[in-house]
Amino acid sequence: MASFITGLWESVFQPGTSPQLILATHLSFSALLITLAWLIFVTSGNIHFIMLFIIATLLWITVIWFISELKSAQLLSNQQLESETTGEKEDSKTKTETIKEDKGASSSTKQNKTTTKSRKA
Protein backbone atom coordinates (compact mmCIF):
# COMPACT_ATOMS: atom_id res chain seq x y z
CA MET A 1 0.00 0.00 0.00
CA ALA A 2 2.83 2.40 0.80
CA SER A 3 4.47 1.74 -2.56
CA PHE A 4 1.16 2.46 -4.31
CA ILE A 5 0.81 5.84 -2.57
CA THR A 6 4.47 6.67 -3.23
CA GLY A 7 4.11 5.74 -6.91
CA LEU A 8 0.91 7.80 -7.13
CA TRP A 9 2.60 10.83 -5.57
CA GLU A 10 5.61 10.56 -7.90
CA SER A 11 3.40 10.17 -10.97
CA VAL A 12 1.88 13.58 -10.32
CA PHE A 13 5.22 15.20 -11.16
CA GLN A 14 5.89 13.20 -14.35
CA PRO A 15 4.36 13.73 -17.79
CA GLY A 16 1.89 11.15 -19.03
CA THR A 17 0.04 8.56 -17.03
CA SER A 18 1.19 5.82 -14.73
CA PRO A 19 -0.53 2.59 -13.66
CA GLN A 20 -0.99 3.99 -10.13
CA LEU A 21 -2.66 7.14 -11.43
CA ILE A 22 -5.01 5.18 -13.68
CA LEU A 23 -5.93 2.78 -10.87
CA ALA A 24 -6.57 5.69 -8.47
CA THR A 25 -8.76 7.37 -11.08
CA HIS A 26 -10.86 4.23 -11.59
CA LEU A 27 -11.17 3.63 -7.84
CA SER A 28 -12.28 7.23 -7.29
CA PHE A 29 -14.92 7.09 -10.00
CA SER A 30 -16.13 3.71 -8.76
CA ALA A 31 -16.52 5.07 -5.23
CA LEU A 32 -18.36 8.13 -6.56
CA LEU A 33 -20.79 6.06 -8.63
CA ILE A 34 -21.43 3.64 -5.74
CA THR A 35 -22.14 6.59 -3.44
CA LEU A 36 -24.49 8.20 -5.96
CA ALA A 37 -26.28 4.87 -6.56
CA TRP A 38 -26.75 4.47 -2.81
CA LEU A 39 -28.12 8.03 -2.57
CA ILE A 40 -30.51 7.34 -5.44
CA PHE A 41 -31.76 4.25 -3.58
CA VAL A 42 -32.09 6.03 -0.21
CA THR A 43 -33.90 9.08 -1.63
CA SER A 44 -36.27 6.92 -3.73
CA GLY A 45 -34.93 8.15 -7.05
CA ASN A 46 -34.26 11.84 -6.46
CA ILE A 47 -33.82 13.40 -9.89
CA HIS A 48 -30.79 15.41 -8.76
CA PHE A 49 -28.85 12.29 -7.78
CA ILE A 50 -29.90 10.55 -10.98
CA MET A 51 -28.56 13.44 -13.05
CA LEU A 52 -25.34 13.53 -11.02
CA PHE A 53 -24.96 9.79 -11.58
CA ILE A 54 -25.37 10.26 -15.34
CA ILE A 55 -22.91 13.17 -15.41
CA ALA A 56 -20.33 11.22 -13.38
CA THR A 57 -20.72 8.19 -15.64
CA LEU A 58 -20.22 10.29 -18.78
CA LEU A 59 -17.21 11.98 -17.21
CA TRP A 60 -15.68 8.62 -16.36
CA ILE A 61 -16.21 7.42 -19.93
CA THR A 62 -14.54 10.60 -21.21
CA VAL A 63 -11.57 10.12 -18.87
CA ILE A 64 -11.19 6.49 -20.05
CA TRP A 65 -11.19 7.71 -23.65
CA PHE A 66 -8.62 10.41 -22.86
CA ILE A 67 -6.32 7.91 -21.13
CA SER A 68 -6.48 5.61 -24.16
CA GLU A 69 -5.63 8.56 -26.43
CA LEU A 70 -2.64 9.41 -24.24
CA LYS A 71 -1.40 5.83 -24.50
CA SER A 72 -1.66 5.88 -28.28
CA ALA A 73 0.04 9.28 -28.65
CA GLN A 74 3.80 9.53 -28.56
CA LEU A 75 4.98 11.88 -25.83
CA LEU A 76 8.04 13.93 -26.69
CA SER A 77 10.86 14.59 -24.27
CA ASN A 78 11.99 18.13 -23.42
CA GLN A 79 15.03 17.78 -25.70
CA GLN A 80 12.85 16.76 -28.64
CA LEU A 81 10.48 19.67 -28.04
CA GLU A 82 13.39 22.09 -27.81
CA SER A 83 14.91 20.86 -31.06
CA GLU A 84 11.54 21.21 -32.82
CA THR A 85 11.04 24.78 -31.64
CA THR A 86 14.60 25.67 -32.68
CA GLY A 87 13.89 24.30 -36.16
CA GLU A 88 10.66 26.29 -36.35
CA LYS A 89 12.41 29.51 -35.33
CA GLU A 90 15.01 29.05 -38.11
CA ASP A 91 12.23 28.40 -40.63
CA SER A 92 10.36 31.53 -39.54
CA LYS A 93 13.52 33.63 -39.84
CA THR A 94 14.04 32.39 -43.40
CA LYS A 95 10.41 33.15 -44.27
CA THR A 96 10.69 36.63 -42.76
CA GLU A 97 13.83 37.40 -44.77
CA THR A 98 12.13 36.18 -47.95
CA ILE A 99 9.08 38.35 -47.27
CA LYS A 100 11.27 41.40 -46.59
CA GLU A 101 13.11 40.83 -49.88
CA ASP A 102 9.81 40.52 -51.75
CA LYS A 103 8.47 43.72 -50.17
CA GLY A 104 11.67 45.55 -51.03
CA ALA A 105 11.40 44.49 -54.66
CA SER A 106 7.75 45.46 -54.92
CA SER A 107 8.33 48.90 -53.34
CA SER A 108 11.13 49.69 -55.82
CA THR A 109 8.85 48.59 -58.65
CA LYS A 110 6.16 50.96 -57.37
CA GLN A 111 8.66 53.80 -57.24
CA ASN A 112 9.68 53.12 -60.87
CA LYS A 113 6.03 53.19 -61.98
CA THR A 114 5.44 56.47 -60.13
CA THR A 115 8.49 58.02 -61.76
CA THR A 116 7.34 56.85 -65.17
CA LYS A 117 3.87 58.32 -64.66
CA SER A 118 5.23 61.68 -63.56
CA ARG A 119 7.42 61.91 -66.67
CA LYS A 120 4.48 61.27 -68.94
CA ALA A 121 2.45 64.01 -67.36
Does the structure show a pLDDT above 80 at 47?
yes
Q: What is the pLDDT of residues 11-43, one digit of tens each?
A: 888 877 788 889 999 999 999 999 999 999 999
The backbone region for 14, taken as left when phi is positive above 0, alpha when psi lies in -120 to 50, beta otherwise, is: beta
28: amino acid identity, one letter: S
Which of these, 12, 17, 26, lies nearest to 69 by C-alpha position? Answer: 17
Q: What is the pLDDT of residues 96-118, one digit of tens each?
A: 666 666 666 555 555 555 555 55
Average pLDDT of the segment spanning 49-67:
96
Instruction: Find out whether 36 and 46 touch, Cβ atoms under 8 Å.
Output: no
For the beta carbon of residue 36, count every other beta carbon within 10 angstroms: 19
Give the residue ranges of DSSP H helices in the chain.
2-11, 19-42, 47-72, 78-120
